Structure 1
Amino acid sequence: MINISERINLLDRHQVEKVKEFLGQFNLSYENDIDYTLVIREEGEIIATCSKAKNIFKAFAINENHRGEGITGTLITNLIDRMFEEGIYHSFIFTKPENAHIFSSLNFKLLYETKEAVIMENGIQDINSYIDKIIKRYHIDLDSERVALVMNCNPFTNGHLYLIEEAAKEGKEVIVFVVEEDKSDFPFNNRIDLVKRGTSHLDNVKVLPGGEYIISSATFPTYFLKKEDDKLNIYTKIDGGIFGKYFCSKMNIKSRYLGEEPYCNVTRMYNETLKEELKKFNINIKIIPRKVYDKEPISASRVRKLIKEGNMEKVKEIVPYTTFEFLLSKEGREIGERLKEINSPN
Structure 2
Amino acid sequence: MYYSESIEEIFTKREKVEVTYFLEKFGLQYGDVEDTIVIRDNNQIIATCSRAQNVLKCFAIAEEYQGLGLTNTLISHMTQKLYAEGIYHHFIFTKPDNVEIFASLGYRHISSTSKVALLEIGNNSIVSALDQLKDDYHIDTSKEYAAIVMNCNPFTLGHKYLIEQASLENENVIVFIVEEDKSAFKFRDRIELVRQGVKEFGNVVVLPASKYIISQATFPTYFIKQNDDATAIYTELDCSIFGKYFVNALNIKKRYVGNEPNCNLTSSYNDTMKKVLPSYGIDVRVVNRKEIDATPISATEVRKLLDQHEFEKIKALVPNTTYNFLLADMKISA
TM-score interval, smaller chain: over 0.9
Q: Are 2:146 and 2:255, in contact at CA under 8 Å, matched by a contact in 1?
A: yes
Superposed displacement of residue 207, structure 1: 0.8
In structure 2, what is the equivalent of residue 201 of structure 1? 200
In structure 2, what is the equivalent of residue 18 of structure 1? 18
Give me the whole-angstrom Cα distance separating, in 2, the residues matched to 1:24 and 1:236: 22
Give me the whole-angstrom Cα distance separating, in 2, the residues matched to 1:251 and 1:4: 43
> Is 2:173 aligned against 1:174?
yes
Q: Which amino acid aligns with 2:225?
A: K
Q: Could you list the per-position Cα deviations for residues 70-98 of structure 1 after superposition, in whole angstroms to 9, with x for gaps in the alignment?
A: 11111112211221121111111111111
In structure 1, what is the equivalent of residue 129 of structure 2? 130
Superposed displacement of residue 202, structure 1: 1.2
Q: What SS does the corresponding residue of 1:169 show, helix, strand or coil?
A: helix
Query: Is the alpha carbon distance of 1:6 and 1:209 closer, same or farther for their aligned partners in structure 2, counting shifts above 3 Å?
Result: farther
Gapped regions of structure 1 (runs ≥ 5): 335-346
> Is 2:215 aligned against 1:216?
yes
Q: Which amino acid aligns with 1:27?
A: G
Q: Are 2:222 and 2:265, in contact at CA under 8 Å, matched by a contact in 1?
A: no
In structure 2, what is the equivalent of residue 339 of structure 1? none
In structure 1, what is the equivalent of residue 256 of structure 2? 257
In structure 2, what is the equivalent of residue 31 of structure 1? 31
Q: Are 2:92 and 2:120, in contact at CA under 8 Å, matched by a contact in 1?
A: yes
Q: Which amino acid aligns with 2:116?
A: A
Q: Are 1:140 and 1:251, in contact at CA under 8 Å, matched by a contact in 2?
A: yes
Q: Which amino acid aligns with 1:255?
A: K
In structure 2, what is the equivalent of residue 234 of structure 1? 233
TM-score, reference length from structure 1: 0.91
Q: What SS does the corresponding residue of 1:182 show, helix, strand or coil?
A: coil
Query: Is the alpha carbon distance of 1:5 and 1:290 closer, same or farther for their aligned partners in structure 2, counting shifts above 3 Å?
Result: farther
Q: What SS does the corresponding residue of 2:280 show, helix, strand or coil?
A: coil
> Is 2:330 aligned against 1:319?
no
Give me the whole-angstrom Cα distance separating, in 2, the residues matched to 1:230 and 1:51: 20
In structure 2, what is the equivalent of residue 337 of structure 1? none
Q: What SS does the corresponding residue of 1:58 show, helix, strand or coil?
A: strand
Gapped regions of structure 2 (runs ≥ 5): none
Give me the whole-angstrom Cα distance separating, in 1, the residues matched to 2:245 and 2:174: 15
> Is 2:157 aligned against 1:152?
no
Give me the whole-angstrom Cα distance separating, in 1, the residues matched to 2:218 and 2:301: 27
In the TM superposition, 1:1-346 aligns within 5 A as 2=2, 4-32=4-32, 34-329=33-328, 331-333=329-331
Q: Which amino acid aligns with 1:160?
A: H
Give me the whole-angstrom Cα distance separating, in 2, the residues matched to 1:261 and 1:242: 22
Superposed displacement of residue 179, structure 1: 0.4
Give me the whole-angstrom Cα distance separating, in 2, the residues matched to 1:184 and 1:167: 25
Query: Is the alpha carbon distance of 1:184 and 1:19 closer, same or farther for their aligned partners in structure 2, counting shifts above 3 Å?
Result: same
Give me the whole-angstrom Cα distance separating, in 1, the residues matched to 2:330 and 2:188: 12
Q: Are 2:235 and 2:269, in contact at CA under 8 Å, matched by a contact in 1?
A: yes
Q: Could you list the per-position Cα deviations for residues 16-40 of structure 1 after superposition, in whole angstroms to 9, with x for gaps in the alignment?
A: 34333322333333313x2322221
Q: Which amino acid aligns with 1:182?
A: D
Give me the whole-angstrom Cα distance separating, in 2, the residues matched to 1:233 and 1:44: 35
Q: Are 2:289 and 2:297, in contact at CA under 8 Å, matched by a contact in 1?
A: yes
Query: Is the alpha carbon distance of 1:16 and 1:7 closer, same or farther for their aligned partners in structure 2, counting shifts above 3 Å?
Result: farther
Identical pairs, percent: 48
Superposed displacement of residue 6, structure 1: 4.2
TM-score, reference length from structure 2: 0.94
Q: Which amino acid aligns with 2:295?
A: E
Q: What SS does the corresponding residue of 1:318 show, helix, strand or coil?
A: coil
Q: What SS does the corresponding residue of 1:144 show, helix, strand or coil?
A: coil
Give me the whole-angstrom Cα distance separating, in 1, the residues matched to 2:26 and 2:110: 24
Q: Could you list the per-position Cα deviations for residues 236-279 of structure 1 after superposition, in whole angstroms to 9, with x for gaps in the alignment?
A: 11111111111111101111100011232322221011111101
Give me the whole-angstrom Cα distance separating, in 1, the residues matched to 2:59 and 2:147: 35
Query: Is the alpha carbon distance of 1:97 and 1:156 closer, same or farther for their aligned partners in structure 2, counting shifts above 3 Å?
Result: same
Q: What SS does the corresponding residue of 1:280 show, helix, strand or coil?
A: helix
Q: CA RMSD in A?
A: 1.7
Q: Are 2:178 and 2:215, in contact at CA under 8 Å, matched by a contact in 1?
A: yes
Q: Are 1:6 and 1:38, in contact at CA under 8 Å, matched by a contact in 2?
A: no
In structure 2, what is the equivalent of residue 342 of structure 1? none
Q: Are 1:3 and 1:40, in contact at CA under 8 Å, matched by a contact in 2?
A: no
Give me the whole-angstrom Cα distance separating, in 2, the residues matched to 1:71 and 1:217: 25
Q: Are 2:8 and 2:39, in contact at CA under 8 Å, matched by a contact in 1?
A: no
Q: Are 2:146 and 2:170, in contact at CA under 8 Å, matched by a contact in 1?
A: no
